[in-house]
Chains A and B, each alone.
Chain A
Amino acid sequence: MANTALADPDAGLPPAQLAARHGLRVAGQRPSLRRYSSQLWKYRHFIAAYANAKLTASFSNARLGQLWQVLTPLTNAAVYYLIFGLVLEQSRGMDNFIAYLTTGLFIFNFTQTTVQQGTQAISGNLGLIRALHFPRACLPLAITVTQFQQLLGSLAVLVGIVLATGEPITLAWLMLVPAVLLQSVFNAGLTMAVARLGAKATDLKQVMPFILRAWMYGSGVLYSVKLFSENLPGWATALVQFNPMLVYIELARVALLENAPLLNDSLFLTWLVAVGWAIVMGLGGYLYFWRGEQEYGRG
């Protein structure tokens, strides 16, 4: 060894040992969870910039530009009110159906669009993924941030509608803040989960609209939630009570509306379920996404 060392200390070393000796790592290896999380934290500016960029880009071809952020939810609410409020008369026996409907619609829409775009977070950004190295969780997280910004636009519209339909401003309105934040954490986790699923199973994009529509009907967005307890057997109603979307929507309704019909009688239990879902989905989605980190952009 001493003789050959003068010329080249690495001579004759098998490649694996040579690599180990100089601290080289296997290409494309997944970082540890701790390392990954700290990397992700370092990339927070990228997440924010990417989310902003996406938001601007999505309106860049429209002449009305950012105005659509408000116009889209408004038109949406108008269409659903026309069908479910006036044609199907779901408003029977309800004090303020317009506000009830729009609250549910906007809160559900937040999760819906986030998940829809999340399925393509990886598969739609292969160019970026193959070109540059960054923690891939940035992409689904940026989608959540973009949609959160959209939600703020919708909420401004919502407050307008709620006030215009005669609801008073109360202290309960403050509850909207933690409710929406919990939902955002839930969304972030769910988006990461579907991002990994969508990266492998490209068919998910085709299936997702159906899943989301079924979920919407199960969340009491378009009609009174009392219909669940009236028409479903007891166990099924209990199951619906644990539906995360129903829970987040109910919390928003409790916060904004005076006499909205609710499925969950105990507000405390509702909060508990909301927090539970945020933790389970937030952490679970993150772990699930991280475990697939080395696979994204391959193939």
Chain B
Amino acid sequence: MVDHLAMSNDVTVTLPRVQERIPTVVVDDAHVVYRVHKGSAGNTSPVAALKRMVTRTSAPNVREVHAVRGVSFTAYRGEAIGLIGTNGSGKSTLLRAIAGLLPVERGAVYTQGQPSLLGVNAALLNDLPGERNVTLGCLAMGMSPAEVQRQLPEIIEFSGINQRGDFASLPMRTYSSGMSARLRFSIAAAKKHDVLLIDEALATGDKAFRKRSEQRVRELREDAGTVFLVSHQLSSVRDTCERTIWLESGVIRMDGPTAEVLRAYEAFTNAK
């Protein structure tokens, strides 16, 4: 930020900084195609496989899915953006492309720093106690051991897994799915991220935890980050995001203030 102001001899330099909106994620006509191994579907006999090798045709059990078809938008610092759409509309795929976990077939995705994707299926080591997993997760996010020691009680406290006895010292495989989702969210939310991508993670857990995590998302946003939230719970999108992007079959159907987009989306889903 300071760098480019110093370098540029534009008129903008003299303007107060508040006027400038800083983009954190720029998605430019992104197409994402991924290949799925269908497993046992199709003819999988050894003879058929040999025939394919000889004739050099690709295996029939690999199918291409064009999940995101030309999406463009710019997200700015301090924004919380909800991503909505019916099942299979490409929301999670788009998030993974922003996180850099799926390559774009065409177009480009530019990001500030390293976006962190927080999904419900992010598994840590299930054989280890919750505490150890917190330590590991924090170290994996690049914290120093001293920092981890400082944050550990706070994270356990926030996750609320100790509300029913000392669960933090039990292996994670003994946790309910809600408890482990809460713990994972608490770990990821412990660090300041430039860009935080949350995939359905707030939907798990009880009401009290949802309130706490929504509060935490707002804090993360104030720390100059950008938050993306994929959710089917429109209420949590309404409570946390002021901007919403509606994806349908891999294209943006609407992008604007949450209230407006949600109204149109609800009308769309009710009409079906």
- Residues facing A in B1-18 (CB within 8 A) are 1, 3-4, 10-12, 15
Q: Is A206 an interface residue (CB 8 A)?
A: no
Evaluate contact between A16 and B15: CB separation under 8 angstroms.
no
Say yes or no for A215: interface residue by CB 8 A criterion.
no
Cβ-defined contact, B122 with A1, below 8 A? no
| A132-B116 in contact (CB<8A) | yes
**Which of the candidate stretches B91-99, B153-161, B253-261 sits at the interface with the other chain?**
B91-99
Say whether, besides A49-B135, A128-B140, A133-B114, A27 and B122 are in contact (CB < 8 Å). Answer: no
Q: Which of A38-46, A102-110, A172-180, A223-231 contacts B (4 or more CB under 8 A)?
A: A38-46
> CB of B203 within 8 A of chain A?
no
- Binary CB contact string for chain A from 86 to 108 against chain B (1 if under 8 A, 0 otherwise): 00000000000000000000000
B97 to chain A: which residues have CB within 8 Å?
A: 27
Please measure, in the bound complex, the distance between the C-alpha atom of A130 and the C-alpha atom of B140, giving whole angstroms: 12
B110 CB to nearest A CB, Å? 3
Are B21 and A27 within 8 A (Cβ)? Answer: no
Q: Are A27 and B111 in contact (CB under 8 A)?
A: yes
A45 and B139 in contact (CB under 8 A), knowing A24-B23, A60-B128?
Answer: yes
Nearest-neighbor residue (CB-CB) of B12 within chain A = A9
Query: What is the CA–CA distance of A43 and B21 in the complex, to the nearest angstrom?
Result: 33
CB neighbours (8 Å) of A46 from chain B are 136, 139-140
A131 within 8 Å of B (CB atoms): yes
Interface string of A8-47 (1 = CB under 8 A from B): 1110001110110111111111000000000000110110
B21-A15 in contact (CB<8A):
no
CB-CB under 8 A from B209, the residues of chain A are none
Among residues of B, the one whose C-beta sits closest to the C-beta of A7 is B19
- Cross-chain contact B110 with A43 (CB below 8 angstroms): no
**B142 close to A18 (CB less than 8 A):** no
Binds B, one of A234-242, A252-260, A291-299: A291-299
**Distance A43 CA – B138 CA, assembled complex (angstroms):** 11
> Are B110 and A298 in touch, CB under 8 angstroms?
no
CB distance from A25 to the nearest CB of B (A): 6
Which residues of the partner chain A approach B74 to less than 8 Å between Cβ atoms?
A: 15, 18
Q: Are A132 and B101 interface neighbours, CB within 8 A?
A: no
A28–B112 contact, CB under 8 A? no
Contact A60 B171 (CB under 8 A): yes
**B251 interfacial contact with A, CB 8 Å:** no
Q: Is B100 part of the binding interface, using a Cβ–Cβ cutoff of 8 Å?
A: yes
User: Across the interface, do A56 and B11 meet the contact criterion of CB distance under 8 Å?
Assistant: no
- A132 B140 Cβ-Cβ under 8 A: yes
- Does A205 belong to the interface (CB within 8 Å)? no
- With the chains together, A126 CA to B144 CA distance in Å? 24
> Digit string of A123-140 for contact with B (CB within 8 Å is 1, else 0)?
000011011111000100
**What separation, in Å, do the CA atoms of A60 and B20 have in the docked complex?**
54
Q: How far is the CA of A23 from the CA of B6 in the complex (A)?
A: 14
Is there an interface contact between B72 and A23, defined as CB atoms closer than 8 Å? no
In the bound complex, do residue B118 and residue A15 qualify as a contact, i.e. CB atoms below 8 Å apart? no
Q: How large is the interface on A (under 10, 10 to 19, 20 to 34, 35 or more residues)?
A: 35 or more
Measured between alpha carbons, how far is A75 from B236 in the docked complex, in Å?
57
Residue of B nearest to A48 (CB): B139
B23 to A, closest residue via Cβ:
A22
Query: Residue A53 at the B interface, CB < 8 A?
Result: yes
User: Which residues of B are found within 8 Å of A21, using beta-carbon distances?
Assistant: 4
Q: Is A5 an interface residue (CB 8 A)?
A: yes
Of the residues A25, A49, A61, contact of B127 by C-beta under 8 Å: A61
Measured CB to CB, the nearest residue on chain A to B29 is: A15
Cβ of B132 < 8 Å from any Cβ of A?
yes
Asked if A130 contacts B119 (CB within 8 A), the reply is yes
Is B26 a contact of A28 with CB atoms below 8 Å? no
For B21, list chain A residues within 8 Å (CB). 8, 10
In the complex the two chains form, is B10's CB within 8 Å of A42's CB? no
Known: A27-B109, A42-B142. A130 touches B100 (CB 8 A): no
Minimum CB–CB distance for B105 against chain A, Å: 12
User: A9, A26, A27, A29 — which one has the most chain B CB atoms within 10 A of its CB?
Assistant: A27
Q: Given known contacts A24-B25, A28-B101, what 11 new A-B pairs fall within 8 Å (CB)?
A: A5-B12, A19-B26, A22-B22, A26-B109, A27-B111, A49-B136, A53-B128, A56-B128, A133-B114, A294-B103, A299-B35
Chain B residues with CB under 8 Å of chain A are 1, 3-4, 10-12, 15, 19-29, 34-35, 72, 74, 96-103, 108-112, 114-119, 121-125, 127-128, 132, 135-137, 139-142, 144-145, 171, 184, 188
20 A-B pairs with C-beta separation under 8 A: A5-B15, A6-B19, A8-B20, A9-B12, A10-B23, A19-B28, A21-B4, A28-B109, A49-B135, A50-B136, A53-B125, A57-B125, A60-B127, A131-B117, A131-B188, A132-B137, A132-B188, A133-B114, A134-B140, A299-B35
The 7 closest A-B pairs by CB, nearest first: A28-B100, A131-B122, A127-B123, A19-B110, A15-B28, A24-B110, A27-B100
